[in-house]
């Protein structure tokens, strides 16, 4: 079977029992949503190479190659071969897969997936204990004395039945001693208890990260419908911390209940809908709404002069105040003077930005609106990635005050104030015309040269104000994009620029380390360094084109050096 290019989590591990194989699989599943196994084993009749794709609960696809005869087995035949080896020595490579890698692996091996029965993992591991009895059952029927055989078989089955509860009862007392109690109350249908156990393990793992918190019991009241399960979650615990620590613990556990609920969709294929959550710490119950009421919005000045104001929840005030300063600075760098700005941020888990602006500019209102929306939206996306929250721009209200109207108003008001001033201005205009006429007669066009130089200087000033933020944005975006280039690990980036006229020329140097996966069952990438360099160059050109379009600046790559070690 095909597998996305990936380094193995564990390589060349020898297992001799079903328990050891199960532990390897659980380690891989704890780091992702699925696992891929490469198994090498041999019997007297030949050598076998088995590949298995798993999710958290079942086998998705299985394939087996008989090395000596080059025969390929897939689906049920491959699982049968694997079951015959469980409990015997095997060499195993284990790969952990995230959700995307798991889906890609299924898509790449869809034929094998369709042929493979979805065997639960628990059934797969029980085979090692069930194998020998099944062989003895096949051998017993040919025996002629049937009554003694039946009596012996009945006695053996009684011993087996009595032995099984003893084995099952041993772990039961140990679970409450080492782990908190997990209670599942189901109504209306059935869901594998394993799904709730995984959910509870995720909640306990989150609780271990909270200072002073100990969880004693988790209770799930689940009402199962068609494809959905309605949940009431009750968590009981104690805390050795201060009242502030208890408050933080309550908030984080409430968040964890919602965060890890999709585990039920993954494990049991039912959509979880949380109706009620209660966190009882040291006997005191806190409901979600009580915690929401504690989060009050803070409204205040971001700058000392009160030009920028902000209204947002207190716990995220530092992030959005920095966001507001950055946005206003970038707007002003585009030649728009901001007289007043108010950011109203609504929401708690997901944020909605509403911005009111009063600006002084000679641009049209539509042009200002377009620039402001671009800046606000771009920085909102970056802040959303940092906070891991969904942030949207809901409304931008811009009020413009034109520079040209104020200047013309002054010019028209001046003649009204004083007739003497009007007379002086008229004489000045006549003198300028006479000077222009004399220069033209002498063949000198100095005034046009001066005006052209001033025009060029003003254009360069405006352009320079946009270049610095554009280059900074370009550097950040190229840095982020190069981290996503497959088959290589990004190490460092150098970016220099030079302005010539109205064009910015960029010199870029980037270093990568080639990812080669090897080993007993490893696979080496067949993609050449030249192909990887072409992909990197295409990525850089695309980012430069996007930034150039956003800032209205001509940007070109002068030198691109990609180092792959």
| Distance of alpha carbon 103 from alpha carbon 363, whole angstroms | 50
Fold for the domain defined by 181-286: GMP Synthetase; Chain A, domain 3 (3.30.300)
Sign of the alpha-carbon torsion through 244, 281, 215, 389? negative
Residue 271: phi and psi, rounded to 5, are -85, 125
Q: Is the dihedral of CA 73, 77, 79, 81 positive or negative?
A: negative
The sign one gets for the Cα dihedral 367, 372, 374, 375 is positive
User: CB-based contacts of 250: which residues, under 8 Å, 6+ apart?
Assistant: 279, 281, 286, 291
- Are 181-286 and 465-564 the same fold in CATH? yes
Query: CA-to-CA distance for 310 and 306, rounded, in angstroms?
Result: 10
Q: Write the CATH number of the domain with boundaries 465-564.
A: 3.30.300
pLDDT number for residue 454: 52
pLDDT at 502: 77
Whether the CB-CB separation of 79 and 39 falls below 8 Å is answered with no
Confidence (pLDDT) at 132: 36
Q: Give the right CATH number for 297-401 from 3.40.1000, 2.60.40, 1.10.10, 3.30.70.
A: 3.30.70
Neighbours of 378 (CB within 10 A): 16
pLDDT 10s digit of each residue in the chain, 565 long? Answer: 777 677 888 888 888 888 888 888 888 888 778 888 888 888 877 888 899 988 888 888 889 988 888 888 888 888 888 888 887 888 888 888 888 888 888 888 888 888 888 888 777 765 433 333 333 333 344 444 444 444 444 443 443 433 344 333 333 333 444 578 888 888 877 888 888 889 999 899 888 888 888 888 899 988 887 778 888 898 988 888 777 778 788 888 888 888 888 888 888 888 888 888 888 887 776 554 444 444 567 888 998 888 899 998 888 888 899 899 999 999 988 888 898 899 999 887 788 899 999 888 888 888 888 899 999 999 998 888 888 888 989 889 888 876 544 444 444 444 444 456 666 777 777 777 777 777 766 665 555 555 556 556 656 665 667 788 888 888 888 888 888 788 888 888 888 988 887 788 999 999 888 876 544 444 444 567 888 888 889 889 988 988 888 877 888 889 999 888 8
Calculate the CA 139 to chain-centre distance: 57
- Pairing, β 284-286 against β 271-281: antiparallel
Residues 299, 279 contacting (CB under 8 angstroms): no
- Rounded CA-CA distance 166/183 in Å is 22
Angstrom distance (rounded) from CA 45 to CA 71: 13
pLDDT value of residue 186: 85
Domain boundaries, the chain: 10-125, 181-286, 297-401, 465-564
pLDDT of residue 125: 65
Confidence at residue 341, expressed as pLDDT on a 0 to 100 scale: 92
Contact 477, 344 (CB under 8 A): no
Tokens standing for residue 445: 């066009």
DSSP states of 330-394 as a string?
HHHHTT-EEEEEEEEEE-SSSEEEEEEEEEE-SS-HHHHHHHHHHHHHHHHHHHHHHHTS-EEEE
Q: What is the pLDDT of residue 508?
A: 92
Q: What is the layout of strands, in order, in the sheet containing 503-514?
A: 488-500, 503-514, 554-564
Q: What is the pTM (predicted TM-score) of this model?
A: 0.28
By the 8 A CB rule, do 525 and 487 touch? yes
CB 496 within 8 A of CB 509: no
pLDDT of 4 reads 67
Q: What is the pLDDT of residue 518?
A: 46
3-state DSSP assignment of residue 492:
strand
Phi, psi (deg, nearest 5) at residue 171: -70, -30
Cα(338)–Cα(329) distance, rounded to whole angstroms? 9
Q: What is the model's pLDDT at position 323?
A: 92
CA distances to 15, 223, 243, 245 from 257, in Å = 36, 17, 21, 18
d(C-alpha 350, C-alpha 258), whole Å = 14
């Amino acid at each position: 079977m095909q597998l996305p290019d990936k380094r193995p989590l564990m390589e060349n591990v020898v297992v001799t029992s079903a328990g050891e194989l199960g532990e390897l699989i659980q380690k891989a599943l704890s780091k992702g949503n699925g696992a891929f196994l490469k198994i090498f084993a041999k019997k007297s009749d030949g050598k076998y190479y088995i590949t298995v794709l798993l999710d958290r609960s079942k086998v998705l696809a299985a394939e087996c190659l008989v090395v000596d005869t080059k025969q390929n087995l897939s689906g049920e035949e491959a699982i049968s071969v694997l079951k015959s080896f469980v409990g015997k020595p095997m060499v195993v490579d284990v790969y952990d897969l995230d959700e995307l890698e798991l889906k890609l692996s299924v898509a790449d091996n869809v034929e094998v997936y369709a042929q493979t029965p979805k065997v639960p993992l628990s059934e797969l591991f029980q085979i090692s204990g069930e194998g020998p009895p099944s062989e003895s059952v096949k051998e017993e029927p040919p025996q002629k004395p049937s009554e003694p055989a039946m009596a012996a078989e009945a006695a053996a089955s009684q011993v087996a039945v009595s032995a099984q509860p003893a084995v099952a009862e041993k772990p039961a007392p140990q679970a409450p001693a080492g782990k908190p109690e997990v209670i599942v109350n189901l109504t209306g249908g059935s869901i594998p208890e394993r799904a709730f156990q995984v959910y509870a393990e995720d909640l306990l793992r989150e609780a271990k990260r909270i200072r002073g918190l100990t969880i004693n019991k988790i209770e799930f009241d689940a009402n199962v419908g068609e494809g959905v399960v309605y949940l009431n979650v009750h968590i009981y615990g104690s805390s050795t911390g201060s009242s502030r620590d208890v408050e933080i613990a309550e908030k984080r556990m409430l968040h964890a209940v919602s965060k890890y609920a999709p585990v039920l969709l993954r494990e049991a294929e039912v959509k979880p809908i949380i109706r009620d959550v209660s966190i009882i710490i040291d006997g005191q119950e806190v409901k979600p709404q009580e915690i929401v009421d504690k989060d009050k919005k803070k409204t205040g000045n971001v700058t000392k002069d009160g030009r920028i104001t902000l209204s947002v929840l207190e716990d995220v005030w530092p992030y959005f105040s920095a966001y507001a300063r950055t946005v206003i600075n970038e707007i002003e760098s585009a030649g728009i003077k901001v007289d007043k700005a108010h950011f109203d941020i609504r929401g708690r888990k997901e944020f909605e930005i509403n911005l009111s602006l009063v600006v002084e500019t000679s641009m049209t209102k539509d042009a200002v609106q377009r620039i402001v929306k671009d800046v606000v939206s771009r920085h909102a996306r970056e802040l959303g990635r940092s906070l891991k929250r969904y942030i949207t721009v809901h409304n931008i209200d811009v009020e413009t005050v034109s520079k040209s109207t104020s200047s013309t108003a002054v010019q028209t008001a001046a003649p009204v104030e004083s007739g003497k001033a009007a007379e002086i201005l008229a004489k000045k205009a006549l003198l300028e015309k006479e000077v222009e006429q004399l220069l033209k007669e002498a063949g000198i066009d100095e005034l046009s040269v001066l005006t052209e130089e001033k025009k060029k200087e003003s254009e360069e000033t405006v352009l320079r104000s946009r270049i610095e933020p554009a280059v900074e944005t370009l550097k950040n975006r190229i840095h982020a994009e190069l981290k996503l280039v497959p088959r290589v690990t990004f190490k460092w980036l150098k970016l220099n620029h030079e302005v010539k006229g109205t064009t910015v020329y960029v010199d870029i140097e980037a270093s990568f380390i080639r990812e080669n996966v090897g080993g007993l069952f490893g696979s080496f990438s067949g993609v050449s360094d030249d192909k990887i360099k072409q992909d990197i160059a295409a990525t850089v050109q695309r980012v430069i084109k996007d930034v150039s379009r956003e800032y209205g600046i001509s940007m070109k790559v002068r030198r691109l050096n990609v180092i792959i070690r």
